[in-house]
Structure 1
Amino acid sequence: MELKKLSEHIWYMPYESERDRPNLGYVRGKNWSLAIDAGHSAAHTKEFYALLEKENLPLPCLTLLTHWHWDHTFGMHAVNGLTLANEKTNRHLAEWKNKIEKNGPAEFFAIHESIRKEYSENKEVIVKLADIVYSGQLTFDLGDCIVKVIQSEAPHTDDSTLVYIENDKLLFTGDATGDDFFTGIKDAALSRKLAETIKTINPTICMEGHWVPVETDDTLNDLLSGV
């Protein structure tokens, strides 16, 4: 696995289907850096950091979460610096933290084979809440690099966050454009709302959680197909 550079400010660790690991994003400005999503487990996060160190990139000061799903968040306890999530994401994490700490990880492991592969050899499942919780939108200046964090309605979950790197005109969507994971349904009204939000942001490139970076029209066409 290699770290890929997308633009002046952006790198990413590519997704992996077998363990359902999503793309992990990294954005560096002149003053500080951040990551987009925390990883499926501590092992995933540590592999990401090893790639950053290999490229002599500083570890992120802040990790932004695109939504609560385990493959994007359960590595939070291993991240460097602080974590940030919208209030809905944090509520979902609190629910699963409570379930796992009270009853063990059996319900979590039962969700999908990819989870059992990620946590093979009795790896511990640790769920952490975000250090910083927000609602709505935030803007960060990393040093000549503006990052906008936008909570958005979307068909995949009720807590989706979009991350727009303004200088590079690239939008990290997480899994927002996909079907609802548990039902397999892509709600038409939510898909159209998300499409309008993406059009308003007007990125050149979109980076989905489990796909290669593509032109925005490709993402919009996929989002609206069949709705």
Structure 2
Amino acid sequence: MTDDLPMVLAGQCDGEPGPGHVLDAEAGFEVANAVVGGHGREIADVGQLADLAAALPRDMGVTLDEVVRGVGPGPYGVTTLVARVTAMPERHFGPSGECSGGRTGRVPGLELQVVLAPAGHPEGQVAPREQLRPVEISDRADDALEDGRTAEWLTLIAAQLTTIARQLTQDTAPPRPLGEDLALEAARLGRQAARLTALARRVTAAQQTAEPHIPYGTDGIDR
């Protein structure tokens, strides 16, 4: 996370950045956003990427969003590459390469992001970051947990368990003993998913109506 770091410019290793550095960094973000666009820019080919890079400072950092995100819930039919301005932690090095300060602030950087969109999505139309959602259930669960959305997190974990349970017995023909073991584990995962789904409903109800605590094992779920 870089939001708690001050905005500074490269070129200073020792000491705290002064007000002028902050102003210069803010100007750097303004320049980068003017080139890339407030919501980002879709990159369709190498030429467009080269043109974009040529218009930005040569020492600007580049990062890759490891999470594949989508416009809406899907299904998706178009894969796009989007470039956005992001805040990156900066290290400042002295003339001989040493840097005692380590992470000293945040500076403009370029983030490349894979974004899936529905078929027929207008070419060049870039959705704001806040309108995107992770495509994979595991990534959506991580986001929900990080944001404190407990009920949604439990529901997504239950969906993952359900998927795993289905895959254990789908399109497989193992020897009889192994097949029985797989079916048993699939059933257990299914029951666990049901318990988590029920717990998610209770969390939602408690948040909305201050529902009294229901002792574990008395909610009618088969364990």
Question: Is the structural similarity TM-score above 0.5?
Answer: no
TM class by smaller structure: under 0.3
Give 1 or 2 for the bigger CA radius of gyration: 2
**TM-score for both structures, normalised by structure 1:** 0.23
* Structure showing the higher strand proportion among its residues: 1
- The higher relative CO (CA closer than 8 Å, separation ≥ 6) is in 2
